A and B are shown apart, each in its own frame.
Chain A
């Protein structure tokens, strides 16, 4: 039996103030924002669990926005999101690892681009961005390959936990009376007398206003309201994650000088104490499946090793890929349609983890301006999430029955994630909530024990009862 929080007959008749379509980081930030504001909100997500789309696989960097297009909505949302993240992180127990970043120039052409990067950062108000010489760079990054001609330092770039943050947004929204239905896909909908009736796989959902936060399906969902003014073509990014000892090899986020199309392949520590190399940028039509390619992964390892030669002796812990919701436009596709009671939060391509809180605040602003005044917000209830970051104390620091030895996850942590709030409904969801099975053995030692504990509760992991 899956506990997907399915609607019962009694609740199907409910009328919500707002329905958010999509449980990615953007949808969940919006859910939190409007729940905090006192609206009666439902979020529907077609995946078995939240974070089934773009938000499950990214680089997990909280950007200052130093390299974003000046004056764009994207930059504004990123910087607002960045500021709010830093402000709420302590209340929600969200970890922050201030690694800083270095944009490294390896050729005279790239070196020539560095002043422009600094100027752009300053235009974006990120005033502590500056050029540094190779001596300074190598003092900070002694494992970097020789030959760097210079770099730009970005001191306030952070590495964060990309999964606990949206989970915390969900929890806080739930604490404020919100509703989340998972395994519930929106198929269509119609609006009559100022009320949307969305046709979903679990029956009708009625709401006065709809937020489209459907990520890689944003244009498909947009077509419920109007011919979509944008078309999504996912841009895949593949990653290789190295085992924990490799994290000593990079103190900061090592970025290449970006090209027109992509920010390029970076190397950085992860919040879980590993080292990540990626992502690629590969356009594709497929919207849901992010397939890995062995040759591309080998290419990433080679690229990482060119950047940090000592990576050659390190082993791979994980490989994954994510799909950026890219459109034909560079900037976000955010719009309010007052007459339709519809807000579009589309095309949040490659900065949505950072920007989500800013996007949500912007959506609330649009709602207040064009749809309805927001009620007086009650005092926020804080819902701190368990810490998964390697550099901060974890539950196993107190001992406990360890179920996952590679990542030091206790049985109690797994049981808590299976119990709720918003209990894990897929193995991926359980991994994202606890780190279980994400370590170097990838479940050789613990997967059967995890399956016993989950006991059929996860859609993709058989249990004794299935």
Chain B
């Protein structure tokens, strides 16, 4: 494998491969480094349909979509190194790699982090009870089902009602595993339609809202879970628990490195050109924002590729830029920083995410002065999109702030 490239991309999911293909088509020398044995990222093990509409105008299964991304990248001349883990990223665009070939380094003019996101495990959710086999995330469930052909259990409770939770239901059905119930801590299903229709109409799985998983039971294997609703506890017998959703960016590589992370998103902080605090290193896809669809990650990968090409032409502005403060009701907003100048705003993306369901006003302000606002109803895990122009203007004025002001209910 080569030691040098124009662009080194970490991760071969939709974001990484979307960027890689665009860059290679523009004539750059691109290497994608992927730690799994197969390229394609999460879609590789997402055996049901739900992919490809934006990218290929066709509804594809995850694996078919992943294969398409990989073959397009290869056709464009991208080198994909699988079975190779990036174990360190150091200033100067250097990646330390570990593979069965040993330890090597790869240096590139631009590095793109596209390491994706994963679901929060049992431990970080502080779930009580014993620690038997049978408590896994959707991602692992899918790898068991679609990649290994191993049935991890036979009757499962699904925790969470995000979109991915319905993907878990479909996976259970494919594996011949009974879905006992879905358990949601919030007052309503988190996912937008058709997730809830899938549960209610297609799969006939009871959805328990305002219900909290308090305890897991079992010695060697799960024998049941204890759920609390309105102060009363009840038991659901099962031999598996799927902990779905609650995504966090996969930042193992950069957690102890030199890049600034945003505590709100958990991912690297970027400017509007996807540049992290090391201008040579960009980031795109779910590592920035748990979690969006593959189409969004792919589009971000392409937008980051466009930024890299602009930088190669010398068109990107330099400087630390203006930090954007995030106010009440919003978990985070990205980009976290705006640098003055560069390509026009029409192509920029600003997104923020709500912490809980509420009605109020989204406000973009600078130095206490409101530049833009609109009424909005926010729901957890739902993205809100913001216009770029007022954010850029706020950054120009200084003390830029994006907030969600809840209306006082009388």
A interface residues with partner B (beta carbon < 8 Å): 48, 241, 243-245, 288-295, 297-298, 301, 313, 315-320, 396-402, 405-406, 408, 427, 439-445, 447-449, 451-452, 459-464
Contacts and interface: CB of A to CB of B under 8 A. Distances in A.
Interface in B126-182: 126-133, 136-137, 139-140, 143-144, 147-153
A290 to B, nearest CB: 8
Contacts of B250: 441
Interface stretch (B184-192, B214-222, B302-310, B352-360): B214-222
Given A398-B102, A398-B103, A405-B35, A298 B126 contact: yes
Interface in B209-228: 214-215, 219-221
Given A316-B124, A319-B123, A398-B102, A444 B118 contact: yes
Contacts of B377: none
Interface in B86-119: 87, 98-104, 118-119
7 nearest A-B residue pairs (beta carbon) = A442-B121, A448-B143, A399-B102, A460-B133, A316-B124, A294-B128, A444-B118
A429 to B, nearest CB: 12
B249 to A, nearest CB: 11
6 contacts: A241-B123, A288-B219, A289-B130, A294-B127, A399-B98, A402-B35
B222 to A, nearest CB: 10
Nearest to A48: B220
Contacts of B118: 441, 444-445
Contact of A315 (B101, B151, B153, B248): B248
B319 interface: no
Given A400-B100, A451-B144, A462-B152, A444 B119 contact: yes
A408 B253 CA distance: 11
B115 to A, nearest CB: 10
B21 interface: no
A56 B74 CA distance: 48
B121 A443 contact: yes
Interface of B: 35-36, 83, 85, 87, 98-104, 118-119, 121-124, 126-133, 136-137, 139-140, 143-144, 147-153, 214-215, 219-221, 248, 250, 252, 255-256, 263
Contacts of B127: 292, 294
Contacts of A316: 123-124, 126
B109 to A, nearest CB: 25
Nearest to A290: B130
Given A298-B126, A408-B87, A461-B133, A400 B98 contact: yes
Nearest to B36: A445
B35 A243 contact: no
Contact of A408 (B98, B121, B152): B98
Nearest to A439: B252
A294 B225 CA distance: 14
Given A244-B255, A292-B131, A443-B121, A464 B140 contact: no
Contact of B143 (A317, A320, A449): A449
Contacts of A241: 123
Contact of B148 (A400, A405, A452): A452
Contact of A292 (B99, B128, B263): B128
A448 B150 contact: yes
A427 B98 CA distance: 25
A144 to B, nearest CB: 21
A249 to B, nearest CB: 12
Given A400-B98, A401-B83, A441 B129 contact: no
Contacts of A439: 252
A397 B85 CA distance: 12
Contacts of B128: 291-295, 297
B227 to A, nearest CB: 13
A317 B219 CA distance: 22
Contact of B150 (A294, A445, A464): A464
Contact of B219 (A245, A289, A293, A401): A289
A443 B126 contact: no
A245 B263 CA distance: 14
A439 B85 CA distance: 15
A447 B140 contact: yes
Nearest to A292: B128
A400 B87 CA distance: 12
B133 A427 contact: yes
Contacts of B215: 291
Contacts of B87: 396, 408
B255 A447 contact: no
A427 B133 CA distance: 8
Contact of A441 (B98, B103, B121, B144): B121
A319 B131 CA distance: 9
Contacts of A293: 128
Nearest to A411: B100
Contacts of A243: 255
Contacts of B149: 464
Given A406-B252, A440-B252, A291 B129 contact: yes
A462 B150 contact: yes
A315 B349 CA distance: 28
B101 A399 contact: yes
B132 A460 contact: yes
Contacts of A463: 150
Contacts of A295: 128
A321 to B, nearest CB: 8
A300 to B, nearest CB: 9
Given A295-B128, A445-B140, 19 more contacts: A244-B256, A245-B256, A291-B215, A292-B129, A297-B126, A320-B131, A398-B102, A398-B103, A399-B103, A399-B104, A405-B85, A408-B85, A408-B87, A427-B133, A443-B140, A447-B140, A451-B150, A452-B148, A460-B132
B137 A318 contact: no
B136 A447 contact: yes
B137 A444 contact: yes
Contact of B136 (A290, A298, A440, A443): A443
Nearest to A456: B150
A451 B263 CA distance: 34
A462 B139 CA distance: 17
A447 B100 contact: no
A448 B124 CA distance: 20
Contacts of A444: 118-119, 121, 137, 139-140
Contacts of B148: 448-449, 451-452, 464
A12 B118 CA distance: 50
A245 B220 contact: no
A404 to B, nearest CB: 10
A318 B123 contact: yes
Contacts of A320: 131
